[in-house]
Amino acid sequence: MLELAILGLLKEQELHGYELKKQLVDRLGPLSSVSFGSLYPALARLEAAGAVKAIEAREAPAGAGIPMTGSLGGELAAFRARRSATRGSRGKKVYGITPQGEALFEELLVAEAQGGADDDRAFGLKLTFARYIPRPARIRMLERRRALLEERAARSRDSVREDGGHLDTYTRTLLEHRTEMTEQDISWLDRLIAAERKEASK
Amino acid sequence: MLELAILGLLKEQELHGYELKKQLVDRLGPLSSVSFGSLYPALARLEAAGAVKAIEAREAPAGAGIPMTGSLGGELAAFRARRSATRGSRGKKVYGITPQGEALFEELLVAEAQGGADDDRAFGLKLTFARYIPRPARIRMLERRRALLEERAARSRDSVREDGGHLDTYTRTLLEHRTEMTEQDISWLDRLIAAERKEASK
DNA sequence: GTCATCATGTAAGCCGTTACATGATTGC
DNA sequence: GCAATCATGTAACGGCTTACATGATGAC
């Protein structure tokens, strides 16, 4: 799961661990509240497997030795970083995805898309990279999700109706709000699916 | 976390493990997709701690030995269950909360309410039992949540605005939908908070 | 010159899942 | 009688978090 997220982000751009974490937070939202303690080992695993590779940490296209009185912080940092290739003594380690990594990503994603875990986090992750899933599998995935949400909504509607009387206001309000949110999610999915079908039949 | 959920449900009614799990699913929603492998040990822990107690598994107020041609399944089951108190040879084990359990629940909940984990699942759980939290702490909790969502929404709005151009449609749509959902959550929270304040000033 | 932030990593331990094992009850 | 569901439990394993350790950089 984490591996998939990392590969997906590295597919778009080269990043170092620290930055990767930030991206994970605001690209995958509340999902993947991953900590460094699991992120770095994951990167190490992927590197060992040849899926990613630490590359040179160059910053701003080599302004080689031009002294500037202004904000030269960046230039200096770049110089320091260049001292030793791929990694200064504890400098940034920028990772890039390898062809094997791309293949692994594809494999993990398609496997996940058809069948894998179906909790909210997992779905959010798949959706984030949905554009890399072949359309038929993508549509099936969206439909499975729709069915799951429909069932969930039905269940909570029932539980409100059944003993709506003796539930306290707080609980009922919560349940209703949750149902409403689920319903909106469903109609959003419907729009997505409709758009997909339209594209597919073109 | 799981302990808190179990105690909260047992506070409302006596339940056996299997049923408890069902309730966990549709009362706490997608949160707490707990498995038996963690539920039963948790119950055992709570029992060892004296917070819950296995009680007699009686069903339907003793229709003692009245044979019926119709669906007597329930009656028969009740009889079988009555054979041995608190637990037939591998029968249902119905749990009830003890005074110590109530105290523990209160303690865990208040501790969680002010400070604990602040991921979505944790918040959903706290909200489910919010009515047991003293109002001032409850309001503070709602406000902290509001702030968190506000920040989240701001961040995703930014990330769309910043590089909205080079993001593909899929990604942008997803990000926008997520933002919208978060905003609705915020306005729901606002309504809740307003209601709380009104009650408080009465 | 010191504090916050950036940046990377390791180790211990928790928490929960999966897989396995067992058995009763109910419907067909 | 056989399958599905209800019902409880154990054991191994895995992933992630927390806490710890280290060091560079930038701002005041």
Is residue A101 within 8 Å of residue A46, measured between CB atoms?
A: yes
Angle CA B111–B115–B117, to nearest 5 = 95
Determine whether the interchain pair A192/B184 forms a contact, defined as Cβ–Cβ distance below 8 Å: no
With cut-offs at 50, 70 and 90, classify the pLDDT of residue A184.
very high
Is residue A193 within 8 Å of residue A149, measured between CB atoms?
A: no
pLDDT recorded at residue A10: 95
More confident residue, B27 or A67: B27
Chain A residues touching residue B192 (CB < 8 angstroms): 173
Q: Check pLDDT > 90 for residue A164.
A: no
Q: Is the CB of A16 under 7 A from strand C?
A: yes
pLDDT recorded at residue B98: 95
Determine whether the interchain pair B170/A131 forms a contact, defined as Cβ–Cβ distance below 8 Å: yes
pLDDT recorded at residue B131: 93
Which among B33, B131, B152 has CB closest to A170? B131
Cα Rg for chain B, rounded, in angstroms? 23
The mean per-residue pLDDT over the stretch A103-127 comes to 88
With cut-offs at 50, 70 and 90, classify the pLDDT of residue A90.
low
Whether the CB of A131 is below 8 Å from some CB of chain B: the reply is yes
The mean per-residue pLDDT over the stretch B165-184 comes to 88
Residue B149 to chain A, least CA–CA distance (Å): 10
More confident residue, A152 or B81: A152
Instruction: Identify the burial level of B136 via C-beta atoms within 10 angstroms of its C-beta, where 0-12 means exposed, 13-18 middle and 19 or more buried.
Output: exposed
CA of A90 to C1' of D21 (A): 13
Q: Is the CB of B33 under 7 A from strand C?
A: yes
Residue range A123-133, pLDDT digits in tens: 989 999 999 99
Determine whether the interchain pair B159/A27 forms a contact, defined as Cβ–Cβ distance below 8 Å: yes
Residue nearest to nucleotide C8 (CA to C1'): A90
Pairing assessment for the beta strands B52-55 and B15-16 based on DSSP bridges: unpaired
Chain A residues touching residue B177 (CB < 8 angstroms): 188
More confident residue, A167 or A177: A177
User: Could you tell me the pTM of the whole model?
Assistant: 0.81
Q: Check pLDDT > 80 for residue B164.
A: no
Question: Strand A15-16's sheet: what is its strand order?
Answer: A15-16, A94-97, A52-55
The mean per-residue pLDDT over the stretch B103-132 comes to 88
More confident residue, A115 or B58: A115
**What is the rounded distance in angstroms from the CA atom of residue B90 to the CA atom of residue B83?**
12
HEC readout, chain A: CHHHHHHHHHHHCCEEHHHHHHHHHHHCCCCCCCCHHHHHHHHHHHHHCCCEEEECCCCCCCCCCCCCCCCCHHHHHHHHHHCCCCCCCCCCCEEEECHHHHHHHHHHHHHHHCCCCCCHHHHHHHHHCHHHCCHHHHHHHHHHHHHHHHHHHHHHHHHHHHCCCCCCHHHHHHHHHHHHHHHHHHHHHHHHHHHHHHHHHC
Q: Is the CB of A41 under 7 A from strand C?
A: yes
Q: Which residue of B has its CA nearest to A191?
A: B173
pLDDT recorded at residue B155: 81
Q: Is the CB of B88 under 7 A from strand C?
A: yes
**What is the rounded distance in angstroms from the CA atom of residue A176 to the CA atom of residue B1?**
23
Determine whether the interchain pair B119/A174 forms a contact, defined as Cβ–Cβ distance below 8 Å: no
More confident residue, A117 or B52: B52
Q: Check pLDDT > 80 for residue B14.
A: yes
The mean per-residue pLDDT over the stretch B166-179 comes to 87
Residue range A50-89, pLDDT digits in tens: 999 998 654 433 333 333 333 333 343 333 334 333 444 4
